[in-house]
Each structure stands twice: as structure tokens, then as C-alpha cells.
């Protein structure tokens, strides 16, 4: 059996058992308003002021659930409810394949090695999410492509070839591809996250002239031309 601990300022807040298999492939830990992260055995991640640690093996008996419950009762709390109004209500451990819902109850996708933190948009080909790549702690745009777009072996091979080609592109006006793969029957790729506005909104907000709009389109077309070449 594995287990997960939540710490704050060198104080143990919560300890919960984990299924070994789930701990090996990754489980989602949610700490209320502090956020959510996916963690595997042997890993430590930070969520706001909290540190979440996952371990392989049995929980230490001297500090297991019984001892924690006794301490919590003395403190006037519960085993999974740390004191303090700003503290989350313990570690909510979820199956990683079904992890995460935001305040609007929208289902967040899950990919091993990433923590999805919000939605960026959706279109005819799929959805785009803002995520944290756990190995580098950098923000990325995580794109999930619709499964029905890649039913055939030919379509999947074409997609994989295009991802490999795009990953080789080096251009100041083209977002870089960091990673790609197939998870839970859905193709995804992680790209450089470009903070900003959609092009049409950006143009409207800045009240650009026709000449300025053409200059922006020239920049875009040069980047597309570079990619095609």
C-alpha cells in the first residue's frame, strides 16, 4: 500500500492511503481552493502554501490514521481538516483518469505528467487547456484532438508525422511543440503557452488601421510560409 501526505510550514496536515497501482501511474490530489495536482509515488508537488508527498509502502504506524485522529480530536478538528480558516478540507484523492472539476463542474482531462488548471478554448478539432508540465513546472497549452478525427491508421500516422515535423520548427512566430502522445484514447500535444488575446479581439481592442492589420497578417503569413517550406 502507498500513501500521500499533505504538509504546511513543516507541519503534517493529512495522511491518506493510496492504492499501489494508482500511486504508480498517478493520482489526482485536490486541496480545495489551493488547487489540484497529479502525483506519483516518490514525487513531491506544491499547491499554494501546501506540499503534497506520495510514498510507496505502508503508513508509519505511530503516525497512522488512529494517531492523527487522536491529535485532531484534541485540537478540535478532524483527521483530514487542518486548523485555520484558509486551509483546505484535507486531501481529496481521486482516480486520475476521472480527476478534476472546476467551479462550473466542467470535466478536466488528465494526462500523466501534467496538471490541467483551466480551459483555454475549443473548436472543431478538439479542446485546448492550460496545464503545468510537472517535470519542468512550465505552463503549456495542452491540446486534445477529437478521437473521431483519427479513426483510421492513415489519419493517425499523418497526425504523428505532422507533430514530429512541427516539433522541428524554429521560428519566433510559431509556438513550439514540447510533447505529444495518445492517452485514454485521445491524441494530445503540449505546446508553448502564448499569453494574449484571440487575433480578432486584439485587433478590435487596439483599433488598428487597415494598414496595421495587413502588417500583422504579413507576419502571420511569413510564419505559415516558413512552416510549409
Q: What is the pLDDT of residue 206?
A: 92
CA 31 to chain centre: 15
Instruction: Kindly list the distances between the CA atom of residue 177 and the CA atoms of 39, 48, 143, 193, in Å, as whole numbers in the listed order.
Output: 23, 28, 11, 10
pLDDT at 48: 77
Task: Of 175, 55, 167, 182, give the one whose Cα is nearest residue 112.
Answer: 182
- For residue 104, the model assigns a pLDDT of 38
3 state DSSP class of 160? helix
**Mind listing the pLDDT tens digit for each residue in 106-158?**
466 778 888 888 888 877 677 888 899 988 999 999 988 876 666 677 777 87
For residue 11, what pLDDT is reported? 83
Please give the pLDDT value at position 72: 43
Model pTM above 0.85:
no
* Structural domains for the chain: 2-96 (no CATH), 114-167+175-192 (3.30.200.20), 199-228 (no CATH)
- For β-strands 177-183 and 138-145, DSSP reports them as unpaired
DSSP, residue by residue, 19-60: -HHHHHH-EEEE-GGG-EEEE-TT-EEEETTEEEEEESSPPP
Residue 215 and residue 229: Cα distance in Å, rounded?
A: 21
Asked whether 31 and 7 are in contact (CB, 8 A), the reply is: no
Q: What are phi and psi of 168, to 5 degrees?
A: -90, -10
Residues of the chain with pLDDT under 50: 62-91, 93-106
The per-residue pLDDT for 226 is 95
Amino acid at each position: 500500500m502507498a500513501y500521500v501526505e499533505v504538509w504546511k510550514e513543516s507541519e503534517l496536515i493529512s495522511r491518506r492511503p493510496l492504492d499501489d497501482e494508482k500511486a504508480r501511474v498517478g493520482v489526482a490530489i485536490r486541496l480545495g481552493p489551493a488547487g489540484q495536482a497529479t502525483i506519483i509515488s516518490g514525487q513531491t508537488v506544491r499547491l499554494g502554501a501546501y506540499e503534497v508527498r506520495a510514498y510507496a509502502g505502508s503508513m508509519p504506524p505511530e503516525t497512522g490514521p488512529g494517531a492523527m485522529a487522536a491529535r485532531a480530536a484534541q485540537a478540535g478538528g478532524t483527521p483530514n481538516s487542518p486548523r485555520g480558516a484558509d486551509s483546505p478540507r484535507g486531501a481529496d484523492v481521486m482516480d486520475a483518469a476521472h480527476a478534476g472539476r472546476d467551479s462550473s463542474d466542467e470535466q478536466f482531462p488528465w494526462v500523466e505528467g501534467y496538471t490541467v488548471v483551466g480551459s483555454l478554448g475549443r473548436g472543431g478539432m478538439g479542446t485546448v487547456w492550460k496545464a503545468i508540465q510537472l517535470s519542468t513546472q512550465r505552463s503549456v497549452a495542452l491540446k486534445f484532438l477529437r478521437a473521431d478525427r483519427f479513426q483510421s491508421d492513415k489519419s493517425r500516422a499523418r497526425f504523428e508525422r505532422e507533430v514530429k515535423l512541427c516539433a522541428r520548427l524554429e521560428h519566433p512566430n510559431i509556438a513550439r511543440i514540447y510533447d505529444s502522445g495518445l492517452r485514454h484514447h485521445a491524441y494530445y500535444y503540449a505546446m508553448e503557452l502564448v499569453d494574449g488575446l484571440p487575433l480578432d479581439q486584439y485587433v478590435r481592442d487596439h483599433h488598428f488601421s487597415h494598414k496595421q492589420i495587413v502588417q500583422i497578417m504579413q507576419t502571420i503569413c511569413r510564419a505559415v510560409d516558413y512552416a510549409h517550406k
